[in-house]
Structure 1
């Protein structure tokens, strides 16, 4: 999954923003259950994107979604497919996680409500507008809202030092307290020396939680490279042991630098000082200074690099369609503050039957600017013999003295 995250960010662009590569990976993995021996090149391309064979990815996704995480909420949906379809379609639907919502494609307001319900209210608009030609709609939602184990302290922004462009633009920034936060310096393969801050969510002892890593490298290192290093560190840190046992010994974390191996004084990313203290041996202490931030992003995932075109090619023979148009998109939001962190993402794969070629559209604006007739007619869509009211005019009017729109309705 970390491999896909690196691939995702390398293609997503370098501007300020947030994403959930996991949300996209889970959606691809759900498609992986449909990839059999006959998937051919599409199955191989999907495996390349997933970083493993599609069946293994599907099993991993199913295991994750079946084991509900207490602070990372998740939801999946596959809409638009008949439950009594072909054998391969029935087999794929049966292989989906039991929590996956299925059925007809909901109306747009219901899709917006689905996004809102499954993202703690952080995303209240479904990422795509769904046309009548849509034959398949798949979605994943991930959301989390946590409070820090210990809130940050507040310090003047000048503590970011003169080398930071933010020091003159911001007034106040965050400073890590002694407890519930961790900091260190690591040499990474991707980005060289980086500084790392880890803030932990407030959870009951022994309960699953959320740790948020902030990783900074030298300013000239490209964002995608720093993000790749951050994902590598996230995996390595959790392999080094629970954060409750921190700080891990230098030998337990590849590349971790001891402060006693670094020179005293100023460096672009840190300042190291030394003073006498009552302590056993040589103690290392860290304090991180970083800003609050928030972001909202929209990601078009329709390019081959994200894996969704290959996923649709795997699905087409299963759902009995071909030549479908793809739209894949992710909406993501996040906020990092003194007291906690919240984030959500909704990822969508939509397949649409081929739209007609480009032509000419002629439009008319109809203006009822002089007296006109109105007739109200009863309707009933049942068969004619069961619908005696159908087509019967009930009320009629001639409008020659119109009213203005009431002020309370003009908003």
Structure 2
């Protein structure tokens, strides 16, 4: 039987809702984190909503951008569809303590085999939860980001991972000679023969195509533009193929920030666009307390120990006492590359016939200061990971 794809499992409105949660959450924070996943939160809000009532339900559905029918269907549909995307892995699970009596209807709506048990003994529970996190992220994250020393009667969790290799490999070059990353980290260069760079008056957006339907998009804005605004513009550009204009249409009189034009002679005629990207490698990690963002995530009432209403979830009164996320992201050159310079000493035998030269026009975009990025599933447009690069990490 043919596997359901992400773009078939989720309609355009649902994908837009997931992406909008990413935007509203990250741009509503005091600082945009280095790496975060709105998609990791979105299905958990849906799962919570199916157990909530009244104002708590309304708040969760509004944050997730779903109605109650969609909230019941989206988690299982998302899990099933991710199986068709080789670069992605997504898992959802719940663990209940011995004192909680879960509603059978709520359990029935969860993905199969999603329920486990908590003993209440951190020495027993932690290794099992950490093993689940590691197993479902391919070892990228090795711990469950909750404090088991505090009482937890019910735990809901998602694990998301994405892996891809670049369609066009990067080369390494010398570190930047100026700017905030002077003499730091590894700088990568690649030349693209396709229109991967779009620009507006104040933003340049580069699409780095990966295999297995994954793209990573980078956005460089004006130095005076707040990170949240650069990220918001990047999300707009990711959703709209008509955003901005191709960098190949630029003129010398109108070059946006971070972009320069080059002309050079070549014995071969130019057959398409030439986009040269200069990007730093980065390795980023974040640990986020999501209750600090309760308003944008629809968790204000859900996390209120007096007013939370989850009557359809369990016989006992429950509220969200912890909400955390740990993330990691690595942008690097893939594989092994080697280079050699070979020179033959040659002397004149006579004048060579003149060779016709062709003028080439190339665009260079340089990410030599902080920028926004996101990873998306190319066919559906679903945003998987996003963040702000201000330090390059290890």
With the length of structure 2 as denominator, give the TM-score of the two structures: 0.69
2:222 matched to 1:218? yes
What CA distance in whole angstroms lies between the structure 2 residues aligned with 1:82 and 1:184? 55
**2:199 paired residue number:** 186
Please tell me the root mean square deviation across aligned C-alpha atoms, in Å: 3.2
- How far does residue 337 in structure 1 lie from its aligned partner after superposition? 0.5
What CA distance in whole angstroms lies between the structure 2 residues aligned with 1:83 and 1:256? 59
- How far does residue 107 in structure 1 lie from its aligned partner after superposition? 0.8
Matching residue within 251, 256, 279 for 1:290: 279
SS of residue matched to 2:275: coil
Range with greater deviation from structure 2 (211-220 or 96-105): 96-105
**1:308 paired residue number:** 299
SS of residue matched to 1:315: coil
Higher helix residue share: 1
What CA distance in whole angstroms lies between the structure 2 residues aligned with 1:101 and 1:200? 37
Structure-2 change in CA distance of 1:83 and 1:300 (3 Å): closer
**CA contact 1:153–1:174 (8 Å) conserved in 2:** yes
**1:33 paired residue number:** 50
What CA distance in whole angstroms lies between the structure 1 residues aligned with 2:230 and 2:99? 45
**1:337 paired residue number:** 332
Structure-2 change in CA distance of 1:229 and 1:101 (3 Å): farther
Matching residue within 80, 105, 116 for 1:66: 80
Structure-2 change in CA distance of 1:119 and 1:260 (3 Å): closer
Structure-2 change in CA distance of 1:4 and 1:15 (3 Å): closer
Structure-2 change in CA distance of 1:224 and 1:99 (3 Å): farther
In the alignment, structure 1 segments of 5+ residues that lack a partner are: 204-208, 238-252, 346-411
Instruction: Please list, as runs of the form range in 1=range in 2, the aligned pairs for 1:129-148 lying within 5 A after superposition.
Output: 129-131=147-149, 133-148=151-166
Matching residue within 65, 69, 88 for 1:51: 65
In the alignment, structure 2 segments of 5+ residues that lack a partner are: 1-17, 336-372, 376-383, 386-394
SS of residue matched to 2:59: helix
What CA distance in whole angstroms lies between the structure 1 residues aligned with 2:297 and 2:226? 20
Deviation by residue 1:257-313 (Cα, 9 ceiling, x = unmatched): 453354358653210234577346xx5321111100111111111123222344463
**1:91 paired residue number:** 105
- How far does residue 99 in structure 1 lie from its aligned partner after superposition? 5.1
SS of residue matched to 1:263: coil
What CA distance in whole angstroms lies between the structure 2 residues aligned with 1:171 and 1:298? 23
What CA distance in whole angstroms lies between the structure 1 residues aligned with 2:277 and 2:324? 35
Range with greater deviation from structure 2 (71-80 or 324-333): 324-333
Question: Looking at both structures, which has the greater relative contact order when contacts are Cα pairs under 8 Å and sequence separation is at least 6?
Answer: 2
Structure-2 change in CA distance of 1:290 and 1:258 (3 Å): closer
**2:172 paired residue number:** 154
Structure-2 change in CA distance of 1:322 and 1:46 (3 Å): same
With the length of structure 1 as denominator, give the TM-score of the two structures: 0.67
SS of residue matched to 1:169: coil
**CA contact 1:78–1:138 (8 Å) conserved in 2:** yes
